[in-house]
Amino acid sequence: MNVTNANYISDEATPWRMAVMGGAYGNVPALKACVEDAIHHGCRTLAFIGDAIGCCGHGGEILELIRQHFSLWVAGNHEQQAAAGQARCACGYSSPEDERTACDAFAIAQRGITDDQRRWLATWPDQRVVPTPAGQILLCHGSPDRTNEFLYESEFSSARWLPMLKKREWVGFVCTHTGLPWMRRLGPNDFAMNCGVMGKPDHDGDTAVHYALLEAPSPGELRLSLRSVGYDHAAWAQELRSQGIPEIFVSPLETGVWTTGVASLPELERKVYSGRRCCETLILRNKNEVIKG
């Protein structure tokens, strides 16, 4: 697996803040809204962790926006497959129907992508290790083990991942891929986090999209939060319809409820419910103290 190390430049006058985003799926206005929100909150580093292109089309446009606004990139299965010239998305859904529909979306996703953009996608690492004032963090798409692994909160095993973090001396990792944001404390100073996605809502009846905000207000302290961001989803849905995007990919933008991918979800995530912890902050400190509020 291709892992790249990022550099950290200390600036004592400005607290370290990084936004981690994933799953744009070609949703141009949602990406712009999330970038604007991150800049408003003082993020100097924006990281994108895969699946830029998707069911909304606009592949070339979304890639240029990511090239413009983000300084760190990690390849998702969409980037890997597009760079390799593959027709299938390799999403890894457990339901054959969900996988077939995702591959239909991937065919839409590849429209308008140039050869230059495919060559650029081929340079994206599979993972990236980011140094922070509180320790090193891994950015990955699906999981630290596999690009297209789905890490659902209800099935997450701290016993599986905490030893890996300790062995590699990482304080935590941030992933995406499932489309469902969550964060979990694994040890006194260790965490796992799913940043959610920008390209579609998280199957909770709310049209907002999500990303992760990581802050280090003081040495050794790390604050994690999930940002919920609104945008003009109604106008975007109408634009996609006018461009011939199938309704199965458009209606979730207006309802906040998925029309595909549901059959592959665990029982808990399959239910439409609100309150996926987008108003909480997870605080980790060197003094073996963790506060959630």
- 16-44 confidence digits (pLDDT tens): 999 999 999 999 999 999 999 999 999 99
pLDDT value at residue 284: 81
Q: Are strands 127-132 and 3-5 parallel, antiparallel or unpaired?
A: parallel
3-state secondary structure of 292: strand
pLDDT value at residue 266: 94
Alpha carbon 191 to chain centroid distance?
Answer: 16
- 111-162 confidence digits (pLDDT tens): 889 999 999 999 999 999 999 989 999 999 999 999 999 999 999 999 999 9
Smallest Cα–Cα separation from 189: which of 215, 222, 163, 219?
222
Smallest Cα–Cα separation from 21: which of 1, 36, 4, 5?
36
| Strand ordering across the sheet containing 182-187 | 3-5, 127-132, 135-139, 170-175, 190-194, 182-187
Which range, of 15-24, 195-204, 215-224, averages the lowest pLDDT?
A: 215-224
Domain-located, residue 136: yes
The reported pTM is 0.91
- Which structural domain, as residue segments, surrounds residue 260? 14-292
Mean residue pLDDT of the chain comes to 90
Is the pLDDT at 231 greater than 50? The verdict is yes
Domain-located, residue 3: no
Domain-located, residue 5: no
Q: What share of the chain is helix, strand, coil (3-state, %, to 5)?
A: 30, 25, 45
Domain-located, residue 2: no
Is the pLDDT at 287 greater than 50? The verdict is no
Tell me how many domains the chain contains: 1
Domain-located, residue 4: no
Domain-located, residue 6: no
